[in-house]
A and B are shown apart, each in its own frame.
Chain A
């Protein structure tokens, strides 16, 4: 049952094939069994079981709240959750229990979703590996998959299998791993430069970054306010659309959300491919791109073309400036956003009480890791009066050019852009940590951060396994606020490629719990 998609299990709940409590208990037990993944920082077992009980009552009365009622979900630990510790994987917020729910969390709970827990990330979402948080790195479930293990056995002999676990990508690695390992049916991530799409690609799940302004950021502990978007991680595109339909819309608490009413996101099946125009940005063909990803990218383009879509090469001429520009804007906003962590109102406070200034200094030194402190330092440098014009203002101008590149392409008739999500498949942790966080982020955000600067919707869809047996995802980028069109194309693609299900039997002693009744459930659906 746990291996099914959200839509399928929702149907099963409605038909009474499974109860919310059963579902909740199975997920909780799976969370325990997959503890090695370190996907969760906090497991809110008690609250989830209580929510399941409430949901069960509603189902018994025939008063289900909708598609999400009774569905186990997980939330990245940088979303404020009332009464549940919210740490951002930082010493600074260890022990911080927010008094309010983020709007997106509230919306999930209002729909009857069961909150299983808070997922792991890089400290304050600064990273692309989910390796740099105080609770340790997240391990990619595919490290323990039958698919990957078999390939490895062929290649290397005698090496310690367990030391070669892979990173999930990040910074929403915990959420991606949680969905990938079947411990929940959907998870919230956040996406500032690719933090949802990157781990989705590495973990073989769907990662959606909605249009900026479509989903409320209220309660999302910010990295870069002008780029942050709550992200959605699911096992299929339809599920992402269901969750987006619930989360999207104006929030009076977030002035940057759109005022226009949002319709539910139901995805039609693409029938007439001839009306579709797919753009392939030539600048995304970089030397660092692995040949395997490159060939899958070409294959995908060919697939669209062979099915009748128009596929054209397009140019986004300012792409090469994007990552530097992102770095300046990101660190500047980080420097500003992190200023509130002074140990006074909440969070960590040092023991020093010589002076207020000494207390600030020690609190922030103890509370933040090197990555966070480094970004604060560079951000403050860029914002200095003498540097502001040369760095911040210039970066803003470049940002506008980058956004205009996309507008030009879409104005020329392109419906959706097709690009890689990542340079390659997930790498082992040992290899990943050879480079520092900044270098890694610059490489890993290459294909993803420009979308954030332009505020566009984008989704990473898993396409196939690499020769190593690891997932590779491709990214679709849509017009601003054309999230539905984007997802419709993604759904068609998903159906064509038939990405294989992860086989986690080796990780879980009792694999039957995941796949039991599989056939039964299948038979009763669709």
Chain B
């Protein structure tokens, strides 16, 4: 299955305000240079004008946008947060509902250990402080897909706080330069997912599916340290990779395993932050970036025209490409938070504080989880750059596609070709073919061994690089054939018979006296024409440099 890919490496962004600078100027969309005022970001790179600055015309005000994100990631666990019901995205409606999930009176929540571990691991990966004691609260609101009339969450004392998410964005004219940024992680809390409501407006009824009700969620709150859609999208993409590397969430946005709400405001640099709006229903990274940039522009327009920004919830209409106020969220909700009395405080331990004589099944040791943390994407990328001399953006590209890194590493293992060559082939040719046919790496008809063999042929100059492309195409089309077979069938191997080549060159010279004359007159292009003619005669199997050598020798003799 193909995963949606963030377009951060693609040139030619389509939306208006995709500049990396934190400052927006009203106008037809040319981002101005950046000033760091009013931005709470903690970029590891000094703030500098990344895009050629234009001096604001007189009377034009500068605008800075502030973006914070709330992410809900469904925890990858076998059972729900507080009940034994199975978690499965594709099960028939209402087939995974326990008595507790349906809020039958008298049922009580029982905390799922796996979900706690997932929260701790995510907290550790995001450099958070893990609270040794955290609490559960009830958040009340009436909604048909919330059977108990409240959601159990962690409002007062969440499981993890004060972390940071390091992510990178592409800058420069060709979007080829990577800049590292940091967004603060305010907190990570455990909470229940709701069920799903399906509104049938035709029959004016609502259908409820409780399969999702009670599934464990990690709510990750990112500080308003971002300043445009692209930054937000990049931060989300990095978080997604981290969650997937940890295995704490599948984090597939299309399947709703990762849901993002954005808090957006604009203000004049140096002045207090503006009134913020919340944009919901952002179900892909692309729409997230689009929605944020639209909303920033809308707020600027509104304020420039003397209007006011309302503290409201808006939703992104992806068909119209704009944000609209959400009707059912009108008016302030009072959630009447209250401690969840059926769950004692959640206590976590480290190796030092572990009470003696306790059942290890009953306690969670943070240090033990820390030791088990897998390698994080950032480290993997650094290793790639170091080990293979790869450009940073290539390391990003390799991690961005599920399975691509593993594919790359398997090719590297089996080939003698240079890592740079392998990188280029994997990221350009291989990935290009996948994209063209909308395939996932796992669905590729070309195996790592096949590509490795092909690159070996190329490496020992058995075939030309143009022949190699041809072989690759053939590999893609006809599964099961080896590159060597294809080379043999199509007679693509380079001519190794020097005598035959001499013969071919000689007959070519004889057949084209006019071109020979041109060469002798000193026309530099004439020799290329001859090379081309010989290559054609060899059916492309001879190395052009060798042909040139032979021709030059024959002409001068």
Contacts and interface: CB of A to CB of B under 8 A. Distances in A.
Q: Do A and B come from one complex?
A: yes
Nearest to A251: B108
Contacts of B272: none
Interface in B65-121: 99, 102-111
A218 B106 CA distance: 6
Contact of B341 (A88, A98, A225): A225
Interface stretch (A130-138, A277-285, A379-387, A510-518): A379-387
B306 interface: no
B362 A259 contact: yes
Given A255-B343, A339-B149, A345-B147, A217 B336 contact: no
B6 interface: no
B144 interface: yes
A256 B344 contact: yes
Interface in A295-309: none
Contacts of B337: 383, 388
B341 A255 contact: no
Contacts of A221: 105-106
B102 A333 contact: no
Contacts of B344: 255-256
A344 B145 CA distance: 10
B140 interface: yes
B201 interface: no
A255 B108 contact: yes
B334 A340 contact: no
Interface in B437-459: none
Contacts of B341: 224-226, 256, 333
B149 A98 contact: no
A392 interface: yes
Contacts of A333: 338, 341
B138 A384 contact: no
Given A255-B111, A255-B343, A345-B147, A340 B106 contact: no
A470 to B, nearest CB: 34
Given A339-B148, A385-B334, A79 B142 contact: no
B206 interface: yes
A194 B410 CA distance: 71
Given A99-B99, A255-B342, A383-B336, A342 B142 contact: yes
A496 B342 CA distance: 40
A470 B383 CA distance: 85
A508 to B, nearest CB: 35
Among B99, B107, B147, B206, the one with the most A-chain Cβ atoms within 10 Å of its Cβ is B107
Interface in A71-117: 79-80, 86, 88, 93, 98-100, 102
Interface of A, helix, strand, loop or mixed by DSSP: loop
A219 B105 CA distance: 7
Contacts of B472: none
B208 interface: yes
B150 interface: yes
A98 to B, nearest CB: 7
Contacts of B99: 99-100
Contacts of A224: 341
B336 A344 contact: no
A338 B336 CA distance: 14
Contact of B342 (A225, A357, A392): A225
Among A220, A256, A342, A392, the one with the most B-chain Cβ atoms within 10 Å of its Cβ is A342
Contacts of A86: 105
A345 B144 CA distance: 10
Interface in B185-225: 206, 208
Contacts of B342: 225, 254-256
Contact of B104 (A79, A99, A360, A392): A99
A93 B144 contact: no
Interface string B316-347: 00000000000000000010111001111000
A340 B103 contact: yes
Given A100-B99, A102-B106, A336 B362 contact: no
A346 interface: yes
A261 to B, nearest CB: 12
A253 B334 CA distance: 31
B152 to A, nearest CB: 11
Contact of A253 (B102, B103, B110, B343): B110
A333 to B, nearest CB: 6
Interface in B473-497: none
A410 to B, nearest CB: 22
A380 B138 CA distance: 13
B336 A340 contact: no
Nearest to B197: A356
A332 interface: yes
Contacts of A99: 99, 104
Nearest to B142: A360
Interface string A319-362: 00000000000001101101111101110000000001100100
Nearest to B204: A353
A80 B147 CA distance: 18
Among A79, A256, A336, the one with the most B-chain Cβ atoms within 10 Å of its Cβ is A336
B105 A340 contact: yes
Contact of A332 (B142, B150, B338): B338
Given A255-B342, A256-B344, A336-B138, A345 B336 contact: no
A342 B149 CA distance: 8
Given A255-B342, A259-B362, A340 B206 contact: no
A38 B146 CA distance: 37
Contacts of B110: 252-253, 255
Nearest to B149: A339
Contacts of B105: 80, 86, 88, 93, 98, 221-222, 340-341, 346
A98 B106 contact: yes
Contacts of A254: 108, 342
Among B106, B336, B362, the one with the most A-chain Cβ atoms within 10 Å of its Cβ is B106
Contacts of B206: 356
Given A346-B104, A385-B334, A392-B338, A255 B138 contact: no
Interface in B140-168: 140, 142, 144, 147-150
B155 to A, nearest CB: 11
A99 B106 CA distance: 11
A217 B108 CA distance: 8
Contacts of B338: 332-333, 336, 383, 392
Nearest to B332: A385
B13 to A, nearest CB: 42
B357 to A, nearest CB: 12
A345 B106 contact: no
Contacts of B138: 336
Contacts of B144: 342, 344, 356
A225 B217 CA distance: 24
A393 to B, nearest CB: 10
Nearest to B208: A344
Contacts of A392: 338
B108 A79 contact: no
Nearest to A396: B339
A345 B146 CA distance: 11
Contacts of A100: 99, 104
A367 B440 CA distance: 54
A255 B338 CA distance: 18
Interface in A219-253: 219-222, 224-226, 252-253
Contacts of A345: 102-104, 147
Nearest to B335: A385
A336 B140 contact: yes
Nearest to A338: B149
Nearest to A100: B99
Given A98-B104, A338-B149, A340-B147, 10 more contacts: A218-B106, A218-B107, A218-B108, A220-B106, A259-B362, A335-B336, A336-B338, A340-B148, A341-B105, A342-B149
7 contacts: A99-B99, A225-B342, A256-B344, A345-B103, A346-B104, A384-B334, A385-B336
In the complex, the 8 A-B pairs of residues with the closest C-beta atoms, listed nearest first: A339-B149, A383-B336, A225-B341, A226-B341, A221-B105, A219-B106, A340-B103, A80-B106
